[in-house]
Amino acid sequence: MKHFLSQHKQIEDRLQTLRSVLTFCFGIGYIANVFLAQPLLALINTIMLVLAVILSFIATKGSTRMIAAVLLFVGAFLLIYAQAPLDVWEKALLENGYLLAMFIMVPLISLPVRYGGYNESLEALFERFGNSESRFYGLVSVMTAFLGVLVSIASVPLTCEVARSSRFAGNARVLATALSRGFITCLFWAPTTATIALSLQLTGADWLSVLPFGLLFAIVAGFIGWVMTTLRERFIIGRSRAQDSSNERKGASIDTDLETGSSRSSDKGKGAGLSRPGAGALDHKKIAELILFSVLYIVAVMLVGQCLGISIIVAVALMSILIPIIWMAAIKRTVLFKQKVKEEYVAVKLPNVKGQMILFTAAGVLASGISYSGVGEMAVTALLQVTNEGVLAVTILVMALALVCSAFGVHPLVYTTVIGGSLSAAQLGVSPVYLALLLAMGWALGNAVCPTSANTIAVSQLVERSPFKLALNWNVSYVLVSTVILIALLWLGHCLALC
């Protein structure tokens, strides 16, 4: 039995190694062919992708495999029904090749953040400035959004770890909402996220045109969350003071913490164990260094995309390879970088791309199937009839569908692909930028109320609370308020011909 298990483990390890090699080679090959445009290399990339996807399907389990299988089945059925030729199938498989190349390379950008020596200063930042519930919320939210641009969903556990130096980390509700809402703000604009990458891919919009409104949406959504937390804090403190006054009149002696609010004990419980006071000294140079690294990365992506005339998504993938190497050499941590590339990127991050490989390949096949079969045109016709061809009505209906689907646990990728693959900006009478922002808004806000999203699950595990409580209780009012305000801003931008 032991011999059998040992052989089985060896086979699994070899398949994982093969999958990682195919995945990385596809990423490099795809980026190279953006510049070379060789049909032979495109064919080799397609073969590597098919093999990597097959191996990824074998290795992936749970809802990810189920969602990918459904998307792939429906897309393949539509292509077969429409009698699509072989070249259409090849194009369908590579439809989201840009995204896959980005997902393969982006984990490299997280290494300088994790191992550049910034954690101690970030912890000290929380201990010094996170001295009230609203300030703590603001710091956690901003840091999660900031790091989310560089390390994606890994920003959630990373921020949670450094935030433990504040005594407010024990409040599960504040910590959880700050993490989840902070992360979704980067989904409105960051080119390193699947949200923006897929929205640009489906609509053909230019990222630099999306950026101003995307940043505005992120700031507004972040501000709404902070205001709601501040109002809640003041209401609870006011209620605690009133209760104290009442108890004093009755001669009672109750020990109530006015800063954290004893009435919020239900939000603490197990979450209180997250608090870990006693961070190190705040090094302003390290904080400035981390900000400089982030700015350098974003600026490099924009310059490379514009100067070379390539997709911003490809520029993200390319700079995710080059910038970490240059930066770690500049701060004299090259040896550590090489070690972590081997230990973390090759051994952990690269094999874990399997989920994105199957999901976004399947999404590309579905989008191609919807487009080639003509199903998308029928869906658009029905949608325009229901909304009487009104842009605002379509916007509200799309957002309503996104939020309802998310609340029922449907992954944002599914409805974004279906809606984006069916609708075109010209049919709606809007610009590609407007449609891209609408898709990103639906994904981002839907992410906050989706109990099965990676963001919700990661946060709920960190604070030891149910994902349903986080998504469908703590975040619902925030998402509804944000939806109304952001739709108004998007509509105003359309009326003023700004987007």
In 106-206, alpha helices (H): 110-115, 119-129, 133-151, 155-163, 172-185, 194-203
pLDDT of 90 reads: 92
Name which of 348, 278, 437 is nearest 110 in CA terms. Answer: 348
**What per-residue confidence (pLDDT) applies to 247?**
56
Sign of CA dihedral 152, 484, 462, 285: positive
CA dihedral 484, 490, 495, 497 (to 10 degrees): 170
| Claim: this prediction has a pTM higher than 0.85 | no
Rounded Cα distance, 343 and 399, in Å: 42
Is 245 buried (19+), middle (13-18) or exposed (0-12) by CB count in 10 A? exposed
Per the CB < 8 A criterion, the answer to whether 149 and 185 are in contact is: no
Question: Mean pLDDT of successive 10-residue segments in the chain (499 residues)?
Answer: 71 91 96 94 96 95 88 94 92 92 91 87 82 90 92 86 83 94 96 93 93 97 96 75 55 42 46 51 85 92 91 92 94 94 93 92 91 81 77 93 92 88 87 97 96 89 90 96 98 93
∠ Cα 55 316 441 (to 5°): 90
Q: What is the DSSP string of 434-485?
A: HHHHHHHHHHHHHHHT-TTSHHHHHHHHHHT--HHHIIIIITHHHHHHHHHH
Identify the pLDDT of residue 496: 94
Give residue for tokens 């069916």: 422
